[in-house]
């Protein structure tokens, strides 16, 4: 919806009034026309929609050369499933146990972006994770996996044309590794291995809608020199393989200040091979994960857009649901 649509609605509504009522409403209609008219300094609807969209989908936004951006986000996710603890020795099952699991994951993350060039942005994301397992009553507070990202737009943005962004991400293993803890007494906050990812994202503004999509490939480096006790065996190496991910969706401008974004993501994870000190290997089968996300962007000031989101898992391996909020942090020292 834009101001021209609202203006037309007012004029049509007053046309159906009785003559005396129309005269009484004339002054109000003139005031409405003035209020709805585009004021000096106002941005056009496509630009404001792009700003709201960029605040929700950081893969598609680039910083101007020499400018900074600092953002804060909070995410909560809940996952409930059944863990199968299985040990096979010489073809015989030695241990079989089905363990219920219910995990609450709270992530506070700070993201910083800097524009090296008008079409090249580098950034980092630092997550602080709180995880609670209500079934085993375990809790952990620690850093998650810190990541570094570069985004490059090979072609200048042209209004009405498709915008293309190439991106690459290096993720560290700064979080608590799941392969270096006592799995019966501790929780992890990270993946336990380094990973490299690259891909491309596309977006196009079709006022009042932005359509977007992305594809990416992730290579996970093997984790070696481990020394973790798992049942009666000692885990020494984990090879997590690779991952593929794709997403698509749209953002719709409900008004100049509010936008709704809906997207779906589908991810494929290759099988994970675990190697033990006695030479045995265990293979975790590959899996597909689907997730549906809805985000509401609200402009609360000229420089601040707050995004709230709801995610719903579409497959068994995805979190059951997630809630999130993100907003920019404005410091005068970070401005150009």
What is the mean pLDDT of the segment spanning 186-199? Answer: 95
pLDDT, tens digit, for every residue of 216-273?
A: 999 999 999 999 998 888 999 999 999 999 999 999 988 888 889 999 999 999 999 9
pLDDT at 27: 42
User: Average pLDDT over the chain, rounded to whole?
Assistant: 80
Q: Are residues 276 and 161 in the same domain?
A: yes
Q: Are residues 148 and 239 in the same domain?
A: yes
Query: Per the structure, how many domains does the chain have?
Result: 2
Q: Are residues 34 and 123 in the same domain?
A: no
pLDDT at 260: 92
- Distance, CA of 282 to CA of 233 (rounded, Å): 11
- The token pair at 322 is 């997630």
Task: Give ∠ CA 315-318-323 in degrees, rounded to 5.
Answer: 120
- Distance, CA of 336 to CA of 334 (rounded, Å): 7
What is the mean pLDDT of the segment spanning 129-144? Answer: 92
Q: Are residues 8 and 100 in the same domain?
A: no
Q: Are residues 14 and 115 in the same domain?
A: no
* HEC assignment per residue over 22-41: HHHHHHHHHHHHHHHCCCCC
Give percent above pLDDT 90 in the chain.
Answer: 51
pLDDT, tens digit, for every residue of 166-189?
A: 999 999 999 999 999 998 899 999
- The token pair at 280 is 């045995």
What is the mean pLDDT of the segment spanning 28-51? Answer: 41
Q: Are residues 78 and 3 in the same domain?
A: no
Q: Are residues 32 and 176 in the same domain?
A: no
**Domain span including residue 17:** 1-42
Q: Are residues 215 and 78 in the same domain?
A: yes
CATH of the domain at 265: 2.40.160.40
The region of weakest confidence among 73-77, 93-97, 169-173, 322-326 is: 93-97
Q: Are residues 136 and 264 in the same domain?
A: yes
Q: Are residues 56 and 17 in the same domain?
A: no
């Amino acid at each position: 919806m834009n101001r021209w649509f609202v203006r037309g609605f007012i004029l049509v509504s007053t046309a159906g009034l009785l003559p005396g009522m129309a005269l009484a409403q004339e002054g109000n209609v003139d005031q409405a026309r003035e209020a709805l008219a585009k004021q000096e300094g106002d941005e056009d609807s496509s630009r404001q929609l792009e700003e709201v969209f960029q605040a929700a989908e950081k893969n598609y936004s680039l910083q101007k050369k020499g400018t900074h951006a600092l953002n804060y986000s909070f995410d909560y996710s809940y996952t409930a499933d059944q863990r199968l603890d299985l040990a096979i020795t010489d073809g015989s099952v030695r241990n079989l146990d089905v363990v219920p699991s219910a995990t609450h994951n709270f992530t506070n993350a700070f993201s910083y972006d800097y524009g090296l060039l008008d079409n090249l942005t580098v950034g980092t994301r630092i997550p602080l994770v709180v995880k609670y397992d209500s079934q085993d009553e375990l809790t952990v507070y620690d850093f998650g996996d810190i990541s570094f990202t570069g985004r490059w737009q090979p072609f200048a943005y042209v209004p009405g044309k498709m915008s293309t962004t190439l991106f690459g991400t290096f993720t560290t293993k700064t979080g608590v590794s799941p392969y270096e803890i006592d799995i019966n007494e501790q929780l992890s906050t990270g993946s336990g291995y380094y990973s490299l990812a690259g891909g491309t994202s596309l977006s196009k503004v079709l006022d009042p809608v932005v359509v977007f999509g992305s594809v990416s490939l992730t290579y996970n480096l093997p984790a070696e020199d481990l020394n973790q006790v798992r049942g009666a065996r000692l885990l020494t190496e984990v090879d997590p393989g690779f991952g593929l991910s794709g997403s698509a969706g749209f953002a719709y401008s409900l008004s100049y200040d509010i936008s709704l974004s809906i997207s779906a993501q589908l991810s494929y994870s290759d099988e994970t091979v675990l190697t033990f000190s006695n030479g045995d290997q265990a293979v975790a089968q590959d899996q597909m994960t689907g997730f549906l996300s809805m985000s509401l962007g609200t402009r609360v000031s000229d420089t601040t857009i707050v995004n709230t989101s709801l995610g719903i898992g579409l497959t068994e391996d995805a979190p059951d649901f997630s809630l999130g909020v993100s907003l920019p942090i404005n410091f005068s020292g970070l401005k150009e």
